[in-house]
Structure 1
Amino acid sequence: MPSVTSRLPFIYVAAAIGLSLGVYGCSGSRPSSIFGSTAMESEAEAAQAVAEESSPAEQPGPWITTDSGLRYRILRKSTGRHPQSDDTVMIHYHGWLDDGSVFDTTYKKNLPATFPLNAVVPGFGEGLLYVGEGGMIELEIPGRLGYGFKGSPPKIPSNATLHFRIELLAIR
Structure 2
Amino acid sequence: MKRIYLICATALLFGCSGKTIQTASGLRYRILEKGSGEAAKEGDEILLYETTSYRNGTVLYSNYDSNSPVKVLIGGNQATQAVDEGLRGMKVGEVREIVAPPHLVKRKNYPDNVSPDSTLVIKMRLDEILRN
User: Would the TM-score normalized by the shorter structure come out above 0.5?
Assistant: yes
CA distance in 2, matches of 1:159, 1:114: 26
- Work out whether residues 29 and 86 of structure 2, in 8 Å CA contact, stay in contact via their aligned partners in 1: yes
**Structure 1 residues 102, 96: closer, same or farther in 2, change over 3 A?**
same
CA-to-partner distance for each residue in 1:85-120, whole Å, 9 max, x for gaps?
Answer: 221111111110123211111123232221212211
Give the aligned partner of residue 171 of structure 1. 129
Mapped pair 1:157 → 2:115: yes
Deviation of 1:78 (Å): 2.1
Mapped pair 1:93 → 2:50: yes
CA distance in 2, matches of 1:139, 1:130: 13
Q: Structure 1 segments of 4 or more deviating over 3 A?
A: none
CA distance in 1, matches of 2:117, 2:27: 14
For the aligned residue pairs, the C-alpha RMSD in angstroms reads: 2.0
Give the aligned partner of residue 18 of structure 1. none
- Work out whether residues 74 and 131 of structure 1, in 8 Å CA contact, stay in contact via their aligned partners in 2: no
**Structure 1 residues 153, 114: closer, same or farther in 2, change over 3 A?**
closer
CA distance in 2, matches of 1:139, 1:151: 22
Structure that is richer in strand per residue: 2
The sequence identity of aligned pairs, in percent, is 28
Paired AA for residue 126 in structure 2: L
Secondary structure at 1:80's aligned position in 2? strand
Q: Paired residues, what number?
A: 113
Unmatched runs of 5 consecutive residues or more in structure 2: 1-15
Task: Choose between structure 1 and 2 for higher RCO, CA contacts under 8 A separated by at least 6 residues.
Answer: 2
Structure that is richer in helix per residue: 1
**Structure 1 residues 159, 91: closer, same or farther in 2, change over 3 A?**
same
Deviation of 1:60 (Å): 5.2
Deviation of 1:151 (Å): 6.9
CA distance in 1, matches of 2:17, 2:109: 29
Deviation of 1:140 (Å): 0.6
Give the aligned partner of residue 147 of structure 1. 106
Deviation of 1:132 (Å): 1.0
Unmatched runs of 5 consecutive residues or more in structure 1: 1-58
